[in-house]
């Protein structure tokens, strides 16, 4: 079996020390390596050498990284393009994504293990894509051959069909591997986002778990569930360019100017992802995950069903985790307090249908943490027992602690809420599981 030729890498940077560092890092991995101290020199190498992957710095004299990678895309579209950039270059990075259609961007200073892994995965992904294309060509050729065969050559047709089935299984396996690689890339992006702020650690993963459970509970399609998962993992990607002074403080502690800056992150997140075909739908959910059901959210002040369902789901899951982790308020809320806040804002901040499904999910998850749960009248059931006195907003008692609810009383509470137009919260004991 022939050993495949080593991949060829090109590093472009106007700083010789950076080029030396990259060569030392990648030389032990068996790659052929070229270096260039500027964009024009890099293009000259591309004319004479087959380059599998290029890593270019963003800030270079004469020709910056965005323009250089755009030229690489035009002259050598199969070459994988990666950009080295700093946090301050976010606008230029977005330009590079749009013009150069880069595979990834890596923040400086880079992590050695991470950049080696990114290059390895990029080359493997391209190899799979090439193999996938080759196999598709094989399948198409075999189909053409089958159509040309004489109808009487049944044995030969059966033989070719068996070969075709084998090839199709290989293609399907390659597609599955590509999909897995893409999901891993999304998770890597999510991890990079969380590295930007101590308060973001683990947030995206928890939000994704809750949002995916909600999507399943509401019987959304597999495609919708996947878009919600991607959006949940990447919903804070627009915060990458924000300073630490904003990221490390809760939203309620920010100045008006800082809040305005923070509130731009949904749009920035969409802009960063919209050029990736597989993430277009998720990018739309990211744009709208801070819209509120009553129309008072941002950035587009959408209301009700005009907000995409995935964004309505993401809003509930995101706010719950932000409340319990302390990134939304000065102090973290206990799970019971956070749940009460969500229920109180049912129909105002949150979609009632989504909120009702979330109450069911959280009630099960928090069974061993809380002994009571606040519910709106529409979610009450006969036999539930009040854990607190129920007071009217005017101060007089409606029902006493320990009261066992029945259907007529529940109907009366629903009527009070509708006629007097205020949210009634009824605290009841958690039901014991049998």
Q: Does pLDDT of 278 surpass 60?
A: yes
- Kindly state whether residues 144 and 169 are assigned to the same domain: yes
CB-neighbour burial class of residue 370 (10 A; exposed 0-12, middle 13-18, buried 19+): middle
2 within domain boundaries: no
Least confident of 17-26, 47-56, 217-226, 266-275: 266-275
End position of a domain, from candidates 354, 370, 386: 370
Q: Does pLDDT of 89 surpass 60?
A: yes
Q: Does pLDDT of 187 surpass 60?
A: no
Residue 326 sits in a domain whose CATH number is: 1.10.3210.10
* Tens digits of residue pLDDT in 139-176: 888 877 777 676 666 776 566 666 656 655 554 544 44
Which residue in this structure is represented by tokens 């391209």? 126
What is the signed CA dihedral for 222, 228, 234, 235, rounded to 10 degrees? 170
Residue 423 sits in a domain whose CATH number is: 3.90.105.10
Query: How confident is the model over 332-336, as a mean pLDDT?
Result: 84
3 within domain boundaries: no
87 falls in which pLDDT band (50, 70, 90)?
low
- Greater confidence (35 vs 335) lies with 35
136 within domain boundaries: yes
- Greater confidence (41 vs 167) lies with 41
Q: Does pLDDT of 363 surpass 80?
A: no
In this prediction, what percent of the chain has a pLDDT beyond 70? 82
Query: How confident is the model over 124-137, as a mean pLDDT?
Result: 88
Domain count, the chain: 4
- Kindly state whether residues 234 and 291 are assigned to the same domain: yes
The range of the structural domain enclosing residue 38 comes to 8-110
Tell me the β-bridge partners of 83. Answer: 56, 105
> Would you tell me how many other CB atoms lie within 10 Å of the CB of residue 412?
13
pLDDT score recorded for residue 167: 55
- Kindly state whether residues 212 and 156 are assigned to the same domain: no
pLDDT score recorded for residue 178: 45
Q: Are 43 and 70 in contact (CB under 8 A)?
A: no
107 falls in which pLDDT band (50, 70, 90)?
confident
pLDDT score recorded for residue 247: 72
pLDDT score recorded for residue 25: 95
Calpha distance 421→355 (Å, rounded): 18
* Tens digits of residue pLDDT in 205-259: 888 889 999 999 999 999 999 999 988 888 888 887 778 777 777 777 888 888 8
> Would you tell me how many other CB atoms lie within 10 Å of the CB of residue 317?
26
pLDDT score recorded for residue 11: 97
- Kindly state whether residues 310 and 235 are assigned to the same domain: yes
Q: Does pLDDT of 291 surpass 90?
A: yes
């Amino acid at each position: 079996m022939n050993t495949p030729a080593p991949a060829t890498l090109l590093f472009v940077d106007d700083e010789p020390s950076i080029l030396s560092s990259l060569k030392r890092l990648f030389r032990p991995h068996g790659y052929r390596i070229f270096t260039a101290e500027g964009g024009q020199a890099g293009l000259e190498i591309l004319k004479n050498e087959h380059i599998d992957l290029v890593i270019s710095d963003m800030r270079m004299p004469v020709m910056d990284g965005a323009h250089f990678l755009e030229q690489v895309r035009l002259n050598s579209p199969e070459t994988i393009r990666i950009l080295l950039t700093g946090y301050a270059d976010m606008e230029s990075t977005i330009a590079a994504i749009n013009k150069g259609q880069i595979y990834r961007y890596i923040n400086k200073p880079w992590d050695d293990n991470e950049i080696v892994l990114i290059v390895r995965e990029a080359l493997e992904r391209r190899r799979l894509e090439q193999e996938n294309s080759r196999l598709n060509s094989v399948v198409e050729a075999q189909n053409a051959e089958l159509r040309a065969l004489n109808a009487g050559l049944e044995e030969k047709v059966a033989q070719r069909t068996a070969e075709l089935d084998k090839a199709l299984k290989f293609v399907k396996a390659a597609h599955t591997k590509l999909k897995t690689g893409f999901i891993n890339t999304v998770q890597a992006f999510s991890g990079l986002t969380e590295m930007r702020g101590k308060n973001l650690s683990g947030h995206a993963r928890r939000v994704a778990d809750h949002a995916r459970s909600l999507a399943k509970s509401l019987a959304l399609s597999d495609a919708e569930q996947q878009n919600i998962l991607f959006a949940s993992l990447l919903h804070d990607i627009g915060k990458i360019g924000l300073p630490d002074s904003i990221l490390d403080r809760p939203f309620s502690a920010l100045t008006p100017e800082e809040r305005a800056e923070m509130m731009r992150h949904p749009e920035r997140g969409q802009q960063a992802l919209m050029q990736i075909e597989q993430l277009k739908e998720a990018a739309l959910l990211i744009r709208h995950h801070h819209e509120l059901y009553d129309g008072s959210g941002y950035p587009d002040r959408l209301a009700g069903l005009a907000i995409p369902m995935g964004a309505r789901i993401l809003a509930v899951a995101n706010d719950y985790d932000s409340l319990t982790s302390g990134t939304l308020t000065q102090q973290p809320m206990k799970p019971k307090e956070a749940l009460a806040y969500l229920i109180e804002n049912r129909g105002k901040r949150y979609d009632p249908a989504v909120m009702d499904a979330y109450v069911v999910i959280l009630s099960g998850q928090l069974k061993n943490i809380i002994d009571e749960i606040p519910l709106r009248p529409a979610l009450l059931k006969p036999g539930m027992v009040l854990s607190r006195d129920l007071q009217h907003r005017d101060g007089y008692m409606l029902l006493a602690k320990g009261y066992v609810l029945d259907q007529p009383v529940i109907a009366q509470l629903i009527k009070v809420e509708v006629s007097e137009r205020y949210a009634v919260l009824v605290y009841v004991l958690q039901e014991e599981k049998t």
